[in-house]
Every structure is written in C-alpha cells, then in structure tokens.
Amino acid sequence: MSLLEVQLSVLNVTGNTSLEELYDIYDGSVVLVILYAPIFLVAVVGNLVVLLAVLTDRRMRKSSANYFLVNLAIADLLVALMCIPMTTVYYMYNLWLLGTTICKATGYLQGVSIVANVFTIVLMSVDRYFAIRLPLKHRQVFTVSRVRRLILMAWVSAAVIVMPVALVNQVVRQEFGLHSVHCTEIWPSHVMRQIYDVAMLVCIYVLPGTAIVVLYTLMGCRLWARDSHLQRQVYDVLVARRRLALMMIIISMMFAFCWLPYNIFNICLDFELDAAGQLITIYPFTILLGHSNSAQNPVLYWFMHRGFKAFVLKFIKCQCRSFWFRQ
C-alpha cells in the first residue's frame, strides 16, 4: 500500500481533510531519510557478514540452524538493497520517480522477502523442536540437503503467494493542484483487496505465530526443566541449546513486533475504521519499523551466537594484521 492510497483512504474516512494538508504532513520526511541511513548500513554490512561467516566457516556449515540464518540474511539483504533505497527516494520527493517496472518489483520483492522470512522462522522453530524433543529423528529429517530443499520451497511458495501484489501495483498520475506520480495498488475491487489482506494476515501472521508459540512452549518445557542429576558434559550441551532456542525466540518476537503495526494499519484502512485518520501521520514509520527488522538480526547474532561473534573478531583481527603489514 502506497502513501497515495493511504491518503485517499483517509480522505474517504474523514471527509474533511484536504489532500494539500495530507501532503504537508510529510514535509518533514527528512527525518525518515535520516533514520533509514543507519538501518540501511547495518542491514547491508551485517547480513553480508552473516553470509560470509556461515559460508566460509566449515563448522558453521555443519549446523542446519545456520542455513536458516543464511536464508534470513538473504531475505533481509533483499529488503535492504531493493526496498529501503526506493522507499527513501519516495519519501524524499513525495512522488514516484523510478517507473512502472521498479514500482512492481519493489512491492513484490518486499512481500516475497517478508513471507520467506515468516516461512524460514517457522522452519527454524520446527528444526529446533525436533533437535530438542526428538533428537534422533532430527538428524534424519533435517539433513543439510533437505534443509536446502525446504528453503527453496519457502522462496517458491512466497513468490507465488505475493504474485497478486506485482499484478496490482501500478504507477498512477494524479492532479491535486500539483502534479503527482505515485506507485500504488490498483485492485479490481475494494472487496478483493480486503480479502487478500485478511488472508495474508491470517496465513502469514496469525497461523505461523500460533504455531511458533506452541512449538517454543513445548521446547521450553524440556529445556528449562530442572534435573539435578545431569552430567557436566550433558549440562553444557543443554545450556548451548537453551541459548540457541532463546535466540530463535527473540528473532521471532522481533519480526512480529516490527511488522505488526504495518499489518494493523493496512487492516484499519481496508475496513475504513475511524482510527485510520489518526494513523496517517505514523504510516511511514510503520514501514520504517518493518524495514528496521532487516538490520536487527546481525546485531542479535553478535550478542548471542558465539560462532558468529568468534568469526567476526577473527576477521577483524586478520584485516587489522594485514593492514599493518602493508604499512
């Protein structure tokens, strides 16, 4: 959903707000640009380091969980490289300058990356559930080759599910006392958009969220159960699994928190709720919050993934040593 569509929706709801006033709301879009700059930098550099760490470290490649982290990094890079720059340009000029192809590609790729992220987080939850509750079956089910196939299926499914967005995204020229060009969704009917958005909310947010909560609750009962008879070696393994499970839980919670306001806003506009008029001023920030999720995971790995932190420290040390030798 574009800024133009939000404005038109609010105009229909309130009935007493001029489009000129709505445009004035975003005169301070420089704030958004300033906020997007560090998000873009951390998202690109951080996720590239994640890819480098897993793909070049033999020990990290042996863990199926790390392949899911790689997939999250790829999806986050897609948002950082394809969506954040386009969104920033859009808010800088308050109009769309990049043509129809980029208009369709930006919305579509953002949707695909979000859905792929959701599927990956669900797969991570199932992977950890098997590893903790059914460890023998986990080795049989979650082999590296099978994990790769599951990841491919996640992307293909996401590409199909989000296809309607690519079809309805169009560049629209409007005359509101000033010439404006916007990238927006033009649905055949408002009811179709309502059905699609509600279906996406249920299938991509509510159902996966419920499954994740159930799986991690079952895992938590096993991981945090007290047993004073554990041997030291077994206890160390248990602590490592707790740390990994906790990291996965935080990843899921951050993703849900970052994209929840955007989903709520879309549903409010779809059904023309009275709250839409008040929400117009924060709409760009709901997208910003969602995009910020692309920069959060690498920071989390630094604090909670020992293998990733060790790789980064080793990499920095090697680069510093190489620099001093060249001097």
Please give the structure tokens belonging to residue 170.
């169009």
- Half-sphere exposure at residue 284, Cβ-oriented, CA atoms within 13 angstroms: 25
User: CB burial class (10 A; 0-12, 13-18, 19+) of residue 260?
Assistant: middle
Q: Does an H or E element contain 38, and which? A: helix 30-56
How many Å apart are CA 70 and CA 48, to the nearest integer?
10
| The one-letter amino acid at 229 | H
pTM for the predicted model, two decimal places: 0.83
Residue 147 contacts residue 92 (beta carbons within 8 Å):
no
Strands 169-175 and 179-185: antiparallel
Non-local (6+) Cβ contacts of 83 within 8 A are: 106, 109, 110, 113, 291
Residue 5 contacts residue 285 (beta carbons within 8 Å):
no
List the pLDDT tens digit at each of the 327 positions of the chain: 544 455 445 444 444 444 444 444 455 577 888 899 999 999 999 999 999 988 888 887 777 888 999 999 999 999 999 888 888 887 777 777 788 888 888 889 989 999 999 999 999 999 988 888 888 888 888 888 899 999 999 999 999 999 999 999 888 876 654 557 778 888 888 888 889 989 999 988 899 999 999 988 888 777 776 555 555 555 566 677 778 888 888 998 999 899 988 888 888 877 765 655 666 777 888 889 999 999 999 999 988 888 888 888 887 777 666 656 665
User: What is the reported pLDDT for 226?
Assistant: 57
Strands (E), the chain: 169-175, 179-185
Domain residue ranges in the chain? 3-316
Please give the structure tokens belonging to residue 177.
């006392």
Q: How far is CA 211 from the centre of its chain?
A: 18
Residue 298 contacts residue 50 (beta carbons within 8 Å):
yes
Non-local (6+) Cβ contacts of 240 within 8 A are: none
User: What is the reported pLDDT for 327?
Assistant: 58
User: What is the reported pLDDT for 119?
Assistant: 94
Q: Nearest Cα to 259, choosing from 285, 278, 279, 277?
A: 285
How many Å apart are CA 85 and CA 31, to the nearest integer?
15
How many Å apart are CA 90 and CA 84, to the nearest integer?
10
Q: What is the DSSP string of 143-202?
A: -HHHHHHHHHHHHHHHHHHTHHHHHHEEEEEEESSSEEEEEEE--S-HHHHHHHHHHHHI
DSSP structural state of residue 94: T
The C-alpha R_g of the chain, in whole angstroms, comes to: 22
Non-local (6+) Cβ contacts of 225 within 8 A are: none
Domain 3-316 has CATH 3.40.50.1100: no
